[in-house]
Amino acid sequence: PSLAAAAQPQEQWLRLDSPNFVVIGEVGARELSDVAAQFERFRETLKRVLGEGVTSTAVPTIVIVFPTNTAFAPFMAVFQGRTLEVGGRFLGAQDINYIAIVNDGQPGRLRALLHEYAHLLMSNMSRNVPTWLSEGMAEYYSTFELRSGGHEAVLGGPIDSHLALLTDTLNKSGLLTLEELLGVDHHSPLYNENDRLSVFYAQVWALTHLI
């Protein structure tokens, strides 16, 4: 099913409009407000870093907030016949963008969606960014964190799961070579947009940090 189906009006669903997003969900008004504020602040931060032209989109962006994995399950992506149990999903089209997120308080939920939204904004900057750099930058920006009561934003924080995987891989089998990383495209066996626990994602994140 498409994410559009999830947005069909239901008795218990609420809607909130912020300057750049429409946020709907089967959650409380305060949760919708918190999600909208997080995305608005992330957008504002990247506007200051990358420029206003990068953050401008010609079509609406709808954020759909699900309260649990169970509620989101019918809309999870399927890869090679297997349901990918991720905490969110992005679908872009010519006339609308959908961002779906599970907002159940578990760590890492928002980072997956900020990764996807970063892809959307970077596509406004260039359509020819190499796969390794596109994924590395999206992972870099996905660590966005608000501090000082929402008055300060931090980008480029550590991702503990990537650090642990890099250490484990280095000790066991060795990391991918630079030639292998730079040669990855969307058709490569190493690439899977829904598998961000792979050594490919960990290495391109680290390489982007180095640059």
The mean pLDDT value for 78-88 works out to: 68
pLDDT tens, position by position, 122-166: 777 777 889 899 889 999 999 999 888 878 889 999 999 999 999
What pLDDT score does 93 carry? 76
pLDDT tens, position by position, 185-201: 877 877 766 565 689 99
Beta strands 97-102 and 61-66: pairing type?
Answer: parallel
Q: How confident is residue 87, by pLDDT bands cut at 50, 70 and 90?
A: low
In this model, does residue 10 exceed pLDDT 60?
no
Q: Which of 5-14, 29-38, 201-210 shows the lowest mean pLDDT across its residues?
A: 5-14
Phi, psi of 207 (to 5 degrees): -65, -40
Tell me the C-alpha distance between 150 and 134, whole Å.
27
Fill in the DSSP letter of residue 68: S
Phi, psi of 41 (to 5 degrees): -70, -35
What pLDDT score does 121 carry? 81
What pLDDT score does 15 carry? 95
Fill in the DSSP letter of residue 75: G
In this model, does residue 208 exceed pLDDT 90?
yes
For 179, residues 6+ apart whose C-beta sits below 8 A from its C-beta are none
Whole-prediction pTM value? 0.77
pLDDT tens, position by position, 24-46: 998 899 999 988 988 899 999 99
| More confident site: 126 or 100 | 100
What pLDDT score does 192 carry? 65
Angle, CA 161 vertex, CA 145 and CA 134 arms, to 5°:
65
The mean pLDDT value for 101-107 works out to: 78
